[in-house]
A and B are shown apart, each in its own frame.
Chain A
Amino acid sequence: MSIWEPVWLTLRLATVTTLCLLVIATPTAWWLASSRSRWRPLVEAVTALPLVLPPTVLGFYLLVLLSPTSFVGSAWLSITGGTLTFSFTGLVIASIVYSLPFAVQPLHTAFRGVGQGLREAAATLGAGPLDRFRSIVLPLSRQGFLAAAVLSFAHTLGEFGVVLMVGGNIPGETRVIAVEIYTAVETLDYRTAHILSAGLLLVSLTVLTIVYRVVPGQSKGR
């Protein structure tokens, strides 16, 4: 049992999840920052839910929702021939849900900070909505994007409860660092547990230190 296998898998999972989250969270956060809809508080609450729900709740619903007997799971099965649970793809879906607030909230804060004035000025100068987003909003929210990416990545690295429930502990496919640590502790293999835990601790500390240096005032998930 190589110690590197769960490490590579976890890094891959965190990278793919972060990329997917940036694609999903950017329009969501933009809508939250600019919409005046009465649904806004509800949508904002939904994006923050994974912060307060225990991973077991997320894991249980995902197990039911992604199962081959459900609509989503069976559709996936007929298209790809594989199950969503116990697969890397399933873990990516689970991690997107699990780390969603960590991507949405920094972006939401950044977009709100850009303010209406600059955008309106650009509009009067004839810039279209996409142009306004690209040339004003994006550069001004750079720190928000960095924080969203790094926090989602770090949060996914340590994911445990959800993975334990839908992953099935398959080496190289769903056996991530946190699950490997858990098994090592349960079997009194403290050496492996120490190596992996210390590694995760150091990486998380380094990553968060970088975030707080580059983005002052960016507290966890806000």
Chain B
Amino acid sequence: MRLFRQQQRRWRSPKSEPLSDAERLRDKFFYFRLLVLTAFAVLTLQLLRLQVFEGEAYQQRAENNRLRVVPVMPSRGLIFDRNGVPLVENVPRFSVGVVPADLPEEKEEPVLQWLEKLLGVSPADVSKDLEERRSSNDPYTPLIVKSGIEPEKAFAVREAEAELAGVRLVVEPVRRYGGQPVLSHILGYVGQVADYEYEELKSKGYGMNDRVGKSGVELQYEEVLRGTPGYRQVEVDASGREISTLDSSPAVPGNSLVLSIDLDLQQKTAEILQAAMGDSLNAVAAVMDVHTGELLALVSLPGFDDNMFTDITEEQFRALLDDPRKPLVNHAISEVYPPGSTFKQITASAALQEGVANAGTTITSHGSITVPNEYDPSILYVFRDWSALGTLNFYGGVAMSSDVYFYYLGGGYYENGVELFRGLGAERLAEYCRRFGLGRPTGVDLPGEAEGNVPDPEWKERELGEGWFIGDTYNFSIGQGYVTTTPLQMLQVTAAVANGGHVMLPRVVREIIDPAGNTVVPFVPRVTGETGVSDENLSVLREGMRQAVSWGTATTAAASSVSVAGKTGTAEFGPDLGGGHYATHGWFTGFAPANDPQVAVVVFLEKGNGAKNAAPIGGQILNYFFSRKSAG
């Protein structure tokens, strides 16, 4: 300091006297006073910047700190069977959460130790998760440390909330399904929003810890069941404790579903199916009201316990996914199979409607027909009947399920290149398939429906790059080869045969009601297509199916309480087991009463024979339905 001063003076008058000590001291004190004033000037300038120039921005940030919008979750709508039996309830479940924003790292230790002591959770794991959440964009949503704790522990957590920063008792309603695993595929389950769902659901107002329908009607009707969340704007302190509520809007509870399913029939159906499914990996049985499309029962075995999903572990979920029986899959709608002889309903309807055949058309089955190779007539392809059934009229063809009879109807018959019987041909058959609803989802109100396949020459050329042969038409005519359907599609077909040709939209939910029980969306049957087959023609087929039960292949489906009409199917699938033998699916589809159809039924066994295994199941289900009806 003295140095500068001297230089300055020297520059002005090089010969001036050196400063006296007193003068120098005075200078220094002058600079000290300047230092004091400068120091406070610097502080004042920064304060001006913070408080005056940027004050508003900081005020906003202070508001953001103190105000928090807390969602108020609506209670989820309930689900009832068609008779008003409740199938699910909302029960409170206690979980321990930690709000990452409210637990600063330096205060973590005692909290984590406390949590370890009470719940046995590893402090290291929790600490790691907390760190992750703190750096996420949502540090205010509690990190669930342990869910589903006992009420006594929940009480301890509630008491500790005041002392331990960030710790929250999270009370959330969860679904408890009424212990009917037979309904698992229909009801589905609810689970926490998954990471991959979050991005999409966020825009609909879902939070990270929210629960959302994952399958079944819980998924299909998520928007109906969920209701509208409300919110509360609260003032919180730095530990996230609510000080006061400033504003709120109540949550609107979700609406409830009334299923078309009849719980009693569903249970009985599952029971009958379970008892008869043998070593089949899967089995399906469903009952539909032929006039309305309402599904009265829809069973896919094996089922699962939807309650598991409240707190499912990774291992449990893996086990369900890896189970070869695929219990999570609803085999009635999500898997496609060759329909076998149940498909003959379509071939028969088409043949009658197109004039290919009438009730009196007789065809003789010698047990097989042969078709020579187009290029090398010495090679003969043999298309077998299941037996040499002799001469049959239309009713007999249906009743005995003669494959040869249907080869004629579908593909015609040729001898030495001469057409002796004109069949439908693949295109016309495919057209009728589509009219009956095959090749597209039925539109049932359940997620994950498969389409199935309706083949025709164009399809084969496109998909397989091969030409269509007469043999393809023969296979098609009896529901083998490239045609595949879901069990529900076959039920829809049978219902159309039974109701005079209307393809009904199958439904599991009958109506939507509000929490007070008032109908919000009433049930209105919906037709998704017309088969274009006259009822007169369909009545011929129905008579054939009645005869199948009275004296034909489906006699095992006969019921004591009602007259049943039906069609069996034994569909070959998979690899050749040797000697032209294949594993078979067992099918049965039918309706009752035969003369005034009310309900249709479909039965599918992953392994089995139509007549031996599937038909009796169908008969028992219809018998139960009508015996109960008359008793009630």
Q: Indicate whether A and B interact.
A: no
